[in-house]
Structure 1
Amino acid sequence: MSRRGRRAVLPPTDFTAEPPLAANGLVVTIVNKAGHGKDFAFSDLPVPEPMQRSLATVFAAQQGRWTSHYSATAAWNRLKVFADFVSGLETLPDDLTGLDAAALKRWRLQNISTNTGRTTLRVVHRMLRDDPRLSEGPVAEELARRVPAPKPVRKSYDEEEREHVLLAAGRQFRAAWLRIRENSELLERWRAGALDEGSHDWRLGEALDHVARVGDVPRTHLPSGRQAITNRGLLGGRDIEHTWGRLFLTPSELTALAVLLTDRFGWNLSVYDRMPAPTRAPSVAESTNVTYHVTVEKRRAGNGRWFSTENITDSGAGSPGRLITQALQATLHGRLLAAQMMPGTDLLMTARVVRQKGGRRDMDRPPAVGPLVFGVSGVDGKSWAIEHKLSGSPFRQIRRTTVTREGKPLQHTQGTHESVYVLPDQKVRQASQQIFEDGALEALDQAQKIFFGGHLAQGPDPAHGQTATADCADETTTPWPAQDGGCGADFLLCLACPNAHVHPGHHPRLALLHEHIQGLRSAMPEERWNQRWYAHWQRLDDLAEKVGRPSWAAARVRASDTDRTLVDLLLKGQLAS
């Protein structure tokens, strides 16, 4: 069964797939997922014909990697860069076998310093490694050398930048939505017979009915061969907003809608080309909220994982589903006209172009239906940015902003979320610096609390006071002062104090205490031991490491009766201050 539940149909028994490489060995045809082919002529490359054929062969071997002409064209452009490099060598090799390691080293040095160059190296080397003649020797070793990943340059919007983009998109789409909704209500009243025949609104409703059925306002053919808008005074003008724009979005307005959807849901730009109109989910005793089933197509996810369904609820103004409701209302007449002109068409992102363009160039995107186009292209994004005086197409940055704001994968894996969106993002890195600094300081503070904080001494100092675990240099500067003066710390905490001095005379007692605390671990619940004894044991263990394990073990044997008595009192808490 296919992903959408239709039984797969087997091809005819005599079916054979056309090979991507033409018989002449110089043209490669890449077929995208829609079944459209695109030819790449290797005879155009500035290298000898044998090398053209070899490059065509390794390029054709990549057919299984690509589901779009976009991917194939990107690889083709990088292969042309390589061909230009080869054509500039002092001695032009006749074929790939004529390349030596020195030439490939020059090629690497020429590209390794930039992100674009590194990507070119990765793509070209992957293709060249498919040539069995380059599988051994110095050339193979050079092709197998690791190419560093591109340096992170991606950056999400800060809040001010994001608000600026959303304000532009929101104003444009809301104005279009209100315009279409107002005209749609008038059209519904006309079709319901609720308007007085011959009145201004009735005549306008009649014109709107023509727009909905044809995609344009009524026009009169002039003797000169040109067309004029019929009843221009009734419509209020000849601009788009007063003519067919009353019921249809323009491509720019559709782009504004896509910006808002990307900010809300984090969808990739390519998703909009084939997104079906969302359907309403069945509800029980629900009259105010509407839940939509939205199908998201992600072809890079691999076969069998292209489609996912998201449930989005419109529960009122400000809810995620409210934007879906408005999108359905704004594209309603475009979708109805598309279904009328080509039955079965029901794509959400539908717009009406100002003028129809001849010839279809992008075979990866759905074809236009009459004056209607579907989805949003990269060119649309750049044009929209220029229109609103932005530095560039907002889609990648606004999507990155949404993903980092949500803090979880959206239509991609956890690995992609971390490696592509979070870790390389400059804004995330800047925001994380303080977090990392705070975490490091906290870790340092914790380490200082559970490690020996005093000093190792060669012998006792008469000027130091004695405690049960160490000698104290100055109890007036203690980290744990008592309310009535002096030190208020438990004797076990002495080893955490910078005023503590431990000499060999303390070692037997402390080694015995270390052993007894370790023994308590098996005699009491782990959680309780961790809470009461772990920090003290860790501090003694650190001290044992500083003294030296052999010396520590030897000192344990020298423990006296006085040492045993003090350790027993310490464990019972009878020496706590």
Structure 2
Amino acid sequence: MNPAGGGRPAALPPAGYRPRRRAEEETPLQVLFIPEDTEEPTQVFDFARLTVSPELQLAFAKGFVQRTRAGGRLRRLSSAEKSYRFFRSFATYLGTLNTPPARPQDLLLVHLDGWRLERQNYTSLWHQVGEMISNLRAVPGLGPELRTALNQRQPEHANRRRERANPSYSRAENQRILSAARHDVRQAAARIRASQALAERWRAGDLAGEPPQQRRRGRLAAFVEEHADVPRTPRGAPQWWVRQLGTVAEHMEAVHLSALEIAAFVILLVAMTGENESTITKAPAGHRRPDGHAGGIASAVVELDKPRRGSRRHMDRPLVDLPKWAGSETDSAGPGPDQREGLSTPFGVFMLLYELAEGPRRLLGSDRLLVWWARSGGGGMGAGLRTGADGNLIRSWSQARRIPADPAPGAGPDAQPAHLDVTLGRLRLTYNELNQEPVAHTETTLVNEYLLRNRGNLAGYQRVVAGALAREVAKARSHAALQVLTADEVAEAAEHPARVAARHGMDAATLRRLLAAELDTVMTGCVDHDNSPHAPAGKPCRASFMLCLSCPCARAAPHHLPLQILVRDELANRRISTTPLRWAERFALPHTQLDDLLDRADPHAVAEARDSITPEHRRLAERFLARELDLP
């Protein structure tokens, strides 16, 4: 609580609360993993089964505990299983050597290379190598040579990963995927709402005059809603009248979402938000409505969880509906079915899923957004309600829908199109490609880990970037050049201030203030801030100082050169950590203007200005580019 007042006490756990641990050692070689998700089962991983020396077994077990400890990166059971699987695979390889290492300090980089060569035919080889490197980094007692090699960047690994990565979908392919998913979701909503309405009519007694079959369907729909099952005989078989109306699967899926329909919802949410698979499939149903259901633009805020982000794992994600004035990109005659159902926005998809899964969510006592009915299940689970989703559902949906890919280059009109392999990873990459904005990661990660390895629309993207750059450069050329006082004019102003001032459209008093740095606006000085083109006449200008580069009220003097150099260099540096299109749209114009300014300046003056840059100049430039100097 804020000691100054104005806050409220933080919520505290109830008395007797003990935090749930995720990993603890039963014995030195048997590690009990307790997933962070309480719905996942615990599991014991036995490192005594590894075919290496007892000393290495213990070292690998300690490394596993380090990776799965509270606050560690591995929080899900599937992640822990994968880590153990690679420890076991590496141990199996070491056991085949003529002289296997016996201690952690005996492990060498050549052992990792040998394990990799045995797995070189795997398509996911470099992902597996990266996982094994992470495992070994956590192992205590390694020799300095191997430890140094593991901590170095693996350029070959990164390059191979980019080479093997699937490209994004084209705009047309992405639209076909979304259209197919929306079709499935729309049909699911119509079916479930009809069943719910029929059940309500039966409960209200409104089906008394209907045929017996219709009354039975209403009774059955109400029973399935309340019990997530059908009426059965004492022996567990569906009652005779239930069998007459259809199969158990048909009755359950009349009221609940099916596996392929929940896959369609996941596809829409990933494709429209750019969030990754686990974040969406583990999303909660709970949300806040900042709009207060008061009309206007509807919105919801959902707290999503991305464990790999560590302390920044929890994030509030706003989902906003389209304003009513925003028309459809494809239908200018009026709102289409996607707009009417809200399926053109992540807000609409989220709220529809929240509605359709509300009943089964209540039956399970779950807070998960994704709840659906499975016809069968692995591990002897059988049919029943499920939460979440996995890649197998997306794969099944892709195989069932057989969405055509774009024709191959040079293909004839009679060529049969291939069918798309729909994956959430490629959908997310497509979102990044189309929106050019990071989602739960930095712009550097967006550029280096997503866009750089995307080969799908490279030529088209390059054309878009080139067009944006050309427009911004043309804009810079069309603006009047910033008026600049040279060093000779500064010297002349000492004797003839009125003459120099008139030459640059100001009076002598304003010139003196400009040269005394009293009118500075970071990279220039402003000689008439009450008559700016960026503000109403007679009102002080509140525009960003970046706009001074093209403002008729701005004047530059020699003492502005250090900051002009610093800002120009930083804008150039941002090409590395910003997407090309975003850089072109945000920074190409001021970068071109500053280039022109420095080209017009005397080269010796520029060199002297660069040498005269002080820490104060750097701090001011950093604050300016961080937008700390913008007026609210």
How does the TM-score come out when normalised to structure 2? 0.61
1:34 aligns with 2:60: no
1:186 aligns with 2:195: no
- TM-fit CA distance, 1:168: 2.6
- Structure 1 segment 14-93 matched on structure 2, within 5 A: 20-23=24-27, 25-34=28-37, 36-64=41-69, 65=72, 66-93=74-101
* Contact 2:290–2:300 (8 Å) recurs in 1: no
- Structure 1 segment 285-434 matched on structure 2, within 5 A: 286=294, 290-303=298-311, 305-313=313-321, 317=340, 318=342, 320=345, 321-339=347-365, 345-355=366-376, 357-358=378-379, 371-389=384-402, 391-427=420-456, 429-434=458-463
SS at match of 1:172: helix
SS at match of 1:133: coil
Q: 2:230 aligns with which of 217, 228, 231?
A: 217
Instruction: For 1:290 and 1:309, locate their aligned partners in 2 and report how far apart those are by CA, in whole Å.
Output: 14
- Matched with 1:262 is 270
- Matched with 1:455 is none
* Contact 1:129–1:135 (8 Å) recurs in 2: no
Measured at CA, do residues 312 and 29 of structure 1 come closer, stay the same or move farther in structure 2, by a change above 3 Å?
Answer: same
Instruction: For 2:420 and 2:184, locate their aligned partners in 1 and report how far apart those are by CA, in whole Å.
Output: 18
- For the aligned residue pairs, the C-alpha RMSD in angstroms reads 4.5
Instruction: For 1:312 and 1:351, locate their aligned partners in 2 and report how far apart those are by CA, in whole Å.
Output: 25
Q: Deviations over 1:67-94 (max 9, x none)?
A: 1122222222332342233233332223
Q: 2:259 aligns with which of 240, 251, 262?
A: 251
- Residue type matched to 2:62 in 1? T
* Contact 1:280–1:290 (8 Å) recurs in 2: no
- TM-fit CA distance, 1:351: 0.6
SS at match of 2:284: coil
1:230 aligns with 2:259: no
Unmatched 5+ stretches in structure 2? 2-8, 325-338, 403-418, 479-484, 495-499, 505-513, 515-523, 525-553, 558-591, 609-632
Instruction: For 2:440 and 2:30, locate their aligned partners in 1 and report how far apart those are by CA, in whole Å.
Output: 36
- TM-fit CA distance, 1:252: 1.6
- Residue type matched to 1:385 in 2? S
1:275 aligns with 2:296: no
- TM-fit CA distance, 1:208: 1.4
- TM-fit CA distance, 1:535: 5.8
Q: 2:102 aligns with which of 86, 89, 94?
A: 94
Percent of aligned pairs with the same amino acid: 23
Q: Which has the greater radius of gyration? A: 1
SS at match of 2:25: coil
Instruction: For 1:20 and 1:382, locate their aligned partners in 2 and report how far apart those are by CA, in whole Å.
Output: 36
- TM-fit CA distance, 1:207: 2.0
- TM-fit CA distance, 1:7: 1.3
* Contact 2:220–2:242 (8 Å) recurs in 1: no
1:146 aligns with 2:153: yes
- Residue type matched to 1:56 in 2? A
Q: Deviations over 1:203-235 (max 9, x none)?
A: 32222111211223334578xx854552544x3
* Contact 2:22–2:68 (8 Å) recurs in 1: no
* Contact 2:137–2:147 (8 Å) recurs in 1: yes
Measured at CA, do residues 42 and 446 of structure 1 come closer, stay the same or move farther in structure 2, by a change above 3 Å?
Answer: same
SS at match of 2:24: coil
- TM-fit CA distance, 1:17: 6.6
Measured at CA, do residues 99 and 294 of structure 1 come closer, stay the same or move farther in structure 2, by a change above 3 Å?
Answer: closer
Q: 1:7 aligns with which of 3, 12, 29?
A: 12
* Contact 2:290–2:301 (8 Å) recurs in 1: no
Instruction: For 1:29 and 1:180, locate their aligned partners in 2 and report how far apart those are by CA, in whole Å.
Output: 42
* Contact 1:114–1:150 (8 Å) recurs in 2: no
Instruction: For 1:142 and 1:351, locate their aligned partners in 2 and report how far apart those are by CA, in whole Å.
Output: 47
Measured at CA, do residues 62 and 176 of structure 1 come closer, stay the same or move farther in structure 2, by a change above 3 Å?
Answer: same
- Residue type matched to 1:178 in 2? A
Measured at CA, do residues 417 and 440 of structure 1 come closer, stay the same or move farther in structure 2, by a change above 3 Å?
Answer: closer
SS at match of 1:373: strand
- TM-fit CA distance, 1:247: 0.8
* Contact 1:32–1:68 (8 Å) recurs in 2: yes
Q: Deviations over 1:463-517 (max 9, x none)?
A: xxxxxxxxxxxxxxxxxxxxxxxxxxxxxxxxxxxxxxxxxxxxxxxxxx98646
Unmatched 5+ stretches in structure 1? 340-344, 361-367, 450-512, 550-577
- Residue type matched to 1:209 in 2? A
Measured at CA, do residues 521 and 306 of structure 1 come closer, stay the same or move farther in structure 2, by a change above 3 Å?
Answer: farther
**Paired positions, count:** 460
SS at match of 2:141: helix
SS at match of 1:421: helix
- TM-fit CA distance, 1:158: 0.6
- Matched with 1:538 is 599
Instruction: For 1:403 and 1:534, locate their aligned partners in 2 and report how far apart those are by CA, in whole Å.
Output: 30
Measured at CA, do residues 520 and 159 of structure 1 come closer, stay the same or move farther in structure 2, by a change above 3 Å?
Answer: farther
